[in-house]
Structure 1
Amino acid sequence: MLHTSIKVLLRPAAQALRIYWPPILVIQAFALIVVVCYYKLEATADFFAIIAEVKANGGLIFVAVSTIISGGIVPEILKRIFRPAGVTPSSPGELANQFAMWAGLGILIDQIYQLQSNLFGDGTEFVILLQKVFVDQGLFAPFITQPYIVACFLLHETAYRPANWISVVFSKTMVRRVLTLYATCLTFWPVMLLVIYSLPQGLQFPLFLFANAAYSILMIFIARQQAGTA
């Protein structure tokens, strides 16, 4: 029974990977190359310093806008290239909802990274990295970020009617959809977060943007499939 339930939860992710694995693989490989360059190529030090400075000076506006580009615009372009026939593109209303969601999610993730840095420090010891990944994926993901994502999609699906939205948010549908996204999350983020948290706090969010571009392809596919629009 448990094995069957896990297969059901992971089935949407498997379907998305079969379609979109090329851009996802490229983005993940690029993220890993970034970390290798940071630690192995001294010539890239100035470049990374500029990125950290831009992020610090840009504040929450940079965080929100860059996450919209990372999670909304770039994946949408890639999906239009790799999307198979018969899968309808997102409507302008869907995209507006997704862009607003990404802006809020980016700010939320940035604050989580800062909180993790305050709690555990910026060391790269494996124990510290594991602590951060555990808190991220064991607490923040199932109880904050994934419910936030589903709630945003439901807001659009219920045509922004508060009563309808509240009734769905506090139902089994919400739980089922969060569990499906969380199962997908666990297949992607734990290893990727080990890479992200291995960088200094000022560079973690910029690297998250690359990883997020890959994950959002999976996540949007699954969310649209749950809504019956994929």
Structure 2
Amino acid sequence: MSRADQLADIQKRIAMACAKAGRATDAVQLLAVSKTFPLSDVLEFHACGQTTFGENYLQEALDKITQLADHPNAQQNTPAIEWHFIGPIQSNKTKPIAENFPWVHSVDRLKIAQRLSDQRPSNLPALNVLVQINTSGEDSKSGVEPADAVELCKTISALPNLKLRGLMTIPSNTENTDQLKAEFLQCKTIFDELNNQGLKLDTLSMGMSADLELAIECGSTCVRVGSALFGARSYPK
């Protein structure tokens, strides 16, 4: 199957899920998760019209950003590729993230948000951020506890060089649809509460290759799709 066909299949799944939920097709953005795959694969999808790509591992992402800038056809890569950082964030990684990405999906504590704000270069627009909510309750997952999410989001929204755009969650690794739906809806409830309190959020990053239809049913505005586009990943040992 060609890259164009793979992309079209995912776009069709999104469109059908939107129609079933009574939502406009353009209400949901596709973020192609390119972690562990080379820049050449990214460029193949970009040539088919995909412009937003998510990366989990900082050094790998920075390498791709550098390679793209040095690419012989860099000036022809229009519209430009937009990189989203979606992985866990350690304090010693905030500076390069603040300097190189327009979007961050995985802010989960105030210290990280403050560092991103302080280290965002003055010549760049405010960094778009999502607060990650740990709806599964698993210790192995990053994210703020749901009970603490509203207070954290309000504090982050006041930081000078960040623009709080919404929330992100990674649900439990389960095939139990009821459990997944409950976790997605918990995140949507927090999202709605924050909007009702005047924060004007517009992005709810929920859903991946296996569960994007359910996430869209629950209100997702951004699905993060990797393996269904790029294929199975091979992680270094």
Q: Given the two structures, how large is their TM-score scaled by the length of structure 2?
A: 0.27
- Larger RCO of the pair (alpha carbons < 8 Å, separation 6+): 1
